[in-house]
Chain A
Amino acid sequence: MGAAVATRQIQFREAIREAMSEEMRRDKRVFLMGEEVAQYQGAYKVSQGMLDEFGEKRVIDVPISENGFAGLGVGAAMMGLRPIIEFMSWSFSLVAADQILNNAPKMLYMSGGQFGCPVVFRGNDGAGGQLGSTHSWAVEGLFANVPGLRIVIPSTPYDAKGLLKTAIRCDDPVFFLESERMLGNKGPVPEEEYLIPFGKADIKRAGGDCTLVSFGRPVHFCLEAAEKLAEEGIECEVIDGRTIRPLDMDTIIESIRKTNYCVVVDQSWPFGSVASEVATQIYERAMDHLDNRVYRVCSDDVPAPYSKNLEQAMLPNPGKIIKAVRQAMYLE
């Protein structure tokens, strides 16, 4: 991957900022709108400095009215603009469900192909940081049910930049799920421009013994688990799906053909989740290549608790993944 040649390391938040700024320089139709994105320089400093460069007509503060400004983004996109709408947290997007789930993804279909909706909704997703249940939604499981949109969930600064640039150029509505827990993570990002296409998973670690599939932040838990298991001689292949819609099943199936075992790791709840979808599609397409059932590691099926130890008990972590791999491989 191109990141290997990169000489500089930048933060996840800087990667997102670079993607937005480069696209705004390239295309005047692109603008950024959200709570505290302009004067405050971003609630999580993602948009720091952007107001200065692009001015208040293109970096726009809005009040706390998610349904309103998400819908504004839908309307602007129908007119051919390229809005980037920031949700401070995806948890808050739920009050905008009508606009983001009922309108944006259906506009093209409902209008018989006349009105596309090229809007990017982005912001922090998932639990962590002891914020309690209202602020700790990993929304991917809920949103993945809806046809007509793209769901992007990067795990590294390199992926975040390349995928966000693709998202901004995409003619369909894109949900771009970041994680507050990763915004400070550093990683190699080349100076020169690059784009990462949707629907292409990335093999973050190669291995022949067990396939680990994950999305977003838990990819790092998988890599940690794989390191530990490697010490015992178990080589896991870690696949980072990178986009949930479209889902790159080909890469997953190919890996399972080689390893015959699979664990899917998903930070959202298990019921009707991305993990269950991936598992089902594996059964539909690669049953004969499995030597055991597909194992899932999800968040526990409870609202996110506040207490630190309860929260840790709820979320996927390397220990749970190691256990699942052992079970999948009949070692436990």
Chain B
Amino acid sequence: MTMTDPQAVSQPVERVSAKTRLKWLRDMMLIREFELRTMQAYQEAKIGGFCHVYIGQEACAVGCIAATNPDDPVITAYRDHGHALARGMEARYAMAEMFGKIGGCAKGKGGSMHFFDKRTHFYGGHAIVGGQTPIGAGLAFATRYENEVLGQGKKRVTLCFLGDGALNQGALHEAMNLCAILDLPCIFVVENNRYSMGTSIERGTSMADDLSTKAAAYGMPYFQADGMDVCAVYNVMKRVVDRMRSEQRPAFVEISTYRYKGHSMSDPQKYRTKDEVSEYEANDPIRRLADALIEAGSLNEDGFKELNQSVRDEVRDAIKWAEQSPEPDPATELYSDVVTEPFGAYGPTSLPEMCEHEPGEAPESP
């Protein structure tokens, strides 16, 4: 038995206003522009560490998050820029974080893989593959507890994003089992871009051609969406989110997508062909939505150009802001936020006298 719920998926496309779809288009374009400029800044060595861009997958974050309420918790892995922006984090904070500046969303202490934004209920990018999934279960646990024990009367739904590589981590299976037995409203959204680094899903995951089996193992309803079509993603997610908000239990969603760029900035991409990449590029989610809007008369080429200009301006502003934001001052920042109430042997006064802190070199490969 699979827990696939074809009925929910095949219901007629919900009517979404052109205005909303134009917003989604802009959101996706913003992410794309942000990531292109991120790659550039990385090559200019303004960004250090590992850096994984989201180009090609924009419809996943935008479509899924559009289906949530602003206070539904969202958590994801290290490829997190798109989710943060879709969730409403300002591009400035995102870019400044990668530049390691005090104006970043985590004051420069998290970096590309560890974005956080309390204001938008964004519970982080998490860089240990699968490690975010038990935490996601905890966010869902807290939302249920708030409702049932603290009596806050809110039914929030948690979105926990993961890559297909995380399907093979024990943490996910423990998290799914816990959500199933404790009835936690956590939606596990697998962005199946077919690769974890250089390992194709077929080489790394059992039953790769039918991920509904993963959901069935935990009695979760399984849903599937075309991640190259933001409207399709939204439609599926809207139904899943609405249903889980009232049912308060977990669900499993697979979104088929593709990343156009390498796994990280140091990936030579020997594991796939150029043809494969261009095949997906030809089905680009941004172009697809733009064309649909143009065809429907809700957008013209000039309007598209204007949108393009406005996201460019926004990202240019973000870069300027990131460049101008000061570096965090070791005298005040190195030891702040380690614990809420600093005291003890290695407080700010002891260790710095003994060791010099030089900025580290960026590591080469993942």
The complex places the Cα of A76 from the Cα of B156 at a distance, in Å, of: 13
Determine the chain A residues whose CB is within 8 A of the CB of B14 once the complex forms: none
Asked if B150 and A28 sit within 8 Å, CB to CB, the answer is yes
The complex places the Cα of A79 from the Cα of B341 at a distance, in Å, of: 19
The complex places the Cα of A58 from the Cα of B144 at a distance, in Å, of: 12
The complex places the Cα of A11 from the Cα of B337 at a distance, in Å, of: 37
Chain A CB within 8 A of B138 CB: yes
The complex places the Cα of A245 from the Cα of B170 at a distance, in Å, of: 30
Kindly specify which of A108-116, A128-136, A263-271, A320-328 makes contact with the partner chain.
Answer: A108-116
The complex places the Cα of A286 from the Cα of B253 at a distance, in Å, of: 61
**Chain A, interface size: which category?**
35 or more
The complex places the Cα of A253 from the Cα of B136 at a distance, in Å, of: 45
Determine the chain A residues whose CB is within 8 A of the CB of B128 once the complex forms: 98, 102-103
The complex places the Cα of A113 from the Cα of B344 at a distance, in Å, of: 19
| Docked complex: B327-341 residues within 8 A CB-CB of A | 336-341
Asked if A67 and B338 sit within 8 Å, CB to CB, the answer is no
Chain B CB within 8 A of A196 CB: no
Chain B CB within 8 A of A218 CB: no
Contact for B141 among A72, A80, A115, A245, CB less than 8 A: A72
| Docked complex: B94-153 residues within 8 A CB-CB of A | 104-110, 114, 116-118, 123-124, 126, 128, 131, 133-143, 145-146, 148-150
Most chain B beta-carbon neighbours within 10 Å: one of A28, A76, A170, A245: A76
Asked if B142 and A110 sit within 8 Å, CB to CB, the answer is no
Determine the chain B residues whose CB is within 8 A of the CB of A171 once the complex forms: 340-341
Asked if A172 and B149 sit within 8 Å, CB to CB, the answer is no
| Docked complex: A93-139 residues within 8 A CB-CB of B | 98-99, 102-103, 107-116
Mark each residue of chain A from 222 to 251: 1 if its CB lies under 8 Å from any CB of chain B, else 0: 000000000000000000000001110100
Given the contacts A72-B138, A76-B141, A148-B338, A114 and B117 also touching, CB distance less than 8 Å: yes
The complex places the Cα of A113 from the Cα of B340 at a distance, in Å, of: 8
Chain B CB within 8 A of A57 CB: yes
Determine the chain B residues whose CB is within 8 A of the CB of A60 once the complex forms: 182
Asked if A72 and B150 sit within 8 Å, CB to CB, the answer is no
Chain B CB within 8 A of A43 CB: no
A-B contact pairs, 10 of them (CB 8 A): A67-B170, A72-B138, A75-B141, A79-B73, A79-B143, A111-B114, A112-B106, A112-B116, A112-B337, A172-B341
